[in-house]
Amino acid sequence: MALLIEYLAVRCLLRKWLTFRGVLPVFVCVNLITFPITQILGSFLVWFAEIFPLTVEPILYRKHLKKKGIEVLGLTKIIVASNLISFLVGIVLVALFEMLPSRNTNPYRDKAKIATTKDYLHVLEIAVAEYQMNTGKFPDPEMGLISLIEDPGIEKWNGPYLRKIVLPKDAWGNDFIYRLKNSLPTIRSAGPNGKAGTKDDIVSDYEFLSSDPEEEGEQSSEPDSNGS
């Protein structure tokens, strides 16, 4: 039973239903509960063997008593030792799973998030194109993409250009980055690692092959504290 519970706990850890801190108390509690139970069980088996020797002795008890070094409570010690070993093995396995760098990676889930982020990028690209068609210019980098849903005070603005009044974030919960260089816009997602300017960035069709996220004119999709 203890091994079954520990196995289920490890499975829950792998499926992220439990964290390492949540699994460790499970192992401790299971073994704290099973330790006295195994003690009682072992003592009961020894007592039962002494009361009904014809039932138990031929099977287990007398066979082990004849072996040198096996005491009356040897069965109890064997049960307790196996339980403690299973506890230690379970802790080691959980620790190994916790240390694996790829334990939280799922290629299918990552592909789905990348596809979702590209869909958001496409929506923003269309909104920026409509903004440019109405106003004759692209959104100002100082205000960023917020000008797609809030009137920046320029002539012929006919927004909002998004259905929702809140700017979308990428599939990892980060703001899209907008910049304007040489009169052409770029919309960028920092990708799975959340760091702009790295190889896993996801960019719009206006990308300029520049990987410097601190370049002048770059803005997050959310305005800064001084923005309107």
Grouped pLDDT means (10 residues each) for the chain, 228 residues: 56 57 62 62 55 47 49 54 66 67 61 91 91 91 91 89 88 92 88 89 65 46 48
pLDDT score for 181: 83
Q: For residue 153, give both structure tokens.
A: 């005070």
Q: Which two tokens stand for residue 42?
A: 């072992």
pLDDT value, residue 99: 66
Q: What is the pLDDT of residue 18?
A: 58
Single-letter amino acid, residue 206:
Y
Query: Which distant-in-sequence residues (6+ apart) come within 8 Å of 86 by Cβ?
Result: 2, 3, 6
Q: How is the chain split into domains, by residue range?
A: 2-99, 107-220
Identify the CATH number of the domain defined by range 107-220.
3.30.700.10
